[in-house]
Amino acid sequence: MRKKLIAGNWKMNKSLSEAKVLMNEIKSAVSKEVASKVDVVVCPPFISLSAAAEIFVGSGIEFGAQNIHYKDDGAFTGEISASMLRDLGCEYVILGHSERRQYFHETNHLINFKVIKALEKGLTPILCVGETLEQREQGIEVKIVDEQVTMCLKDVCAMDMQRVVIAYEPVWAIGTGKTASPEQADGMHMEIRKSLENLYNATVAGSTRILYGGSMNDKNAKELLGKQNIDGGLIGGAALKADSLLKIIEAGL
């Protein structure tokens, strides 16, 4: 049985003081009972992670970062390492988000290094994959996503896969208000399970949590989360309001 996971990706939004307000609102909205039934993860910008550690302690809500560098330490100006995040109590890290692929030229190869480093340091990677609109129009979306899964998980063993979460995020659905239909999303999640079965085995394919991301909100969450292969959501815009986040979490109960 795969436990549902709802993760909020705040992207580059909220100053520290605004983040504290929103995190306290989320803490008040999400009871410990709810947080025990669904994994709830908040991923604010780096500067608000230590506040997240203080605010969410004992609440059952976990927090994560939106990126790491793949090296342990050294001369990488402006970067943050996996160990620094673990030291803060961070459990999760979003890797390979399409915005990082698009604006920061992250490749499957680089993302693979980051996944390996995250696992080595005890972080749970939320590995994002997904096709562009152009790729879907060309009918190559399954091939693209299979390639992303295969390359980003290179050298990740079956045991470590127990800690990997995959997020299917069609690029054309992120921040656009366009959502993949529940059938489209479920279909791609099934394809991802096939890729995992080829790479590993049926157990890994059946136990890996695959989230959907792309304009999920309190209106469409129930239908999406009701699909057999959809194990939660990676939520952007709708995670910036405690009440909509709560409704999405409740839709997953």
Note the residues at the interface with ligand PEP (CB under 6 A).
9, 11, 169, 174-175, 213-216, 234-238
Report helix, strand or coil for 6: strand
CB of 7 to ligand PEP, least distance (A): 8
CB of 36 to ligand PEP, least distance (A): 25
Distance CA 230, CA 80 (A): 31
* Cβ proximity to ligand PEP, 204 vs 234, nearer residue: 234
* 219's tokens: 């209106």
The one-letter code for the residue type at 180 is A
Distance CA 196, CA 149 (A): 8
Distances (CA, A) of 129 to 88, 214, 234: 27, 11, 12
* Cβ proximity to ligand PEP, 45 vs 200, nearer residue: 45
CB of 234 to ligand PEP, least distance (A): 5
The number of C-alpha atoms within 13 Å of 87 and in the hemisphere containing its C-beta is: 7
* Cβ proximity to ligand PEP, 208 vs 215, nearer residue: 215
* Cβ proximity to ligand PEP, 205 vs 209, nearer residue: 209
Strands 5-9 and 92-95 come out as unpaired
* Cβ proximity to ligand PEP, 213 vs 252, nearer residue: 213
Residue, CB closest to ligand PEP: 236
Please give the sequence-ordered ranges of beta strands (E in DSSP) within the chain, or none if there are none.
5-9, 39-43, 62-65, 92-95, 124-129, 165-168, 209-213, 232-235
CB of 236 to ligand PEP, least distance (A): 2
CB of 167 to ligand PEP, least distance (A): 7
* 9's tokens: 């990706």
Q: Which residues are catalytic?
A: 97, 169
Distance CA 236, CA 240 (A): 7
